[in-house]
Amino acid sequence: MNPIWALVNCNNSKEAKNIGKAMLEQRLGVCFDIIPRELTTYFWPPQSGKLEEAKGSLLIIETLEEKYPSIKKEIEKLHSDKLPFIGYITIQGTDQKYQDWIREELK
């Protein structure tokens, strides 16, 4: 399976850290990064046409594609939003030794 970055928009760095730690403790990810977001703008509530603005954090969880369904399910339980953004991008070009390390850690 391919390495991926699971991406989660969080309301703050505390929420991102709690979710990230839970993913590592459950061996669903090998590491996580938190990137502060200065501004996020989005439509809310749905179908209202109203724009909301907030700050927040982007949580990046390094894992394997096969772990994504479990990650998504767990994040939906832990996240404070009713409709959190959870997605992933496939990572290419990583060293084979690095990929082996990820696989070993996530057994």
**Could you tell me the residue ranges of all domains in the chain?**
3-105
pTM of the model: 0.92
Position 1 scores a pLDDT of: 77
Position 100 scores a pLDDT of: 96
- Cα–Cα dist 63/22, whole Å: 13
Q: What is the pLDDT along the chain (107 residues), one digit of tens a residue?
A: 789 999 999 999 999 999 999 999 999 999 999 999 999 999 988 899 999 999 999 999 999 999 999 999 999 999 999 999 999 999 999 999 999 999 999 98
Tokens 């390390």 map to which residue?
101
Position 33 scores a pLDDT of: 99
Hey, which CATH number is domain 3-105, 3.30.70.120, 3.40.50.2020, 3.40.50.880, 3.40.50.720? 3.30.70.120
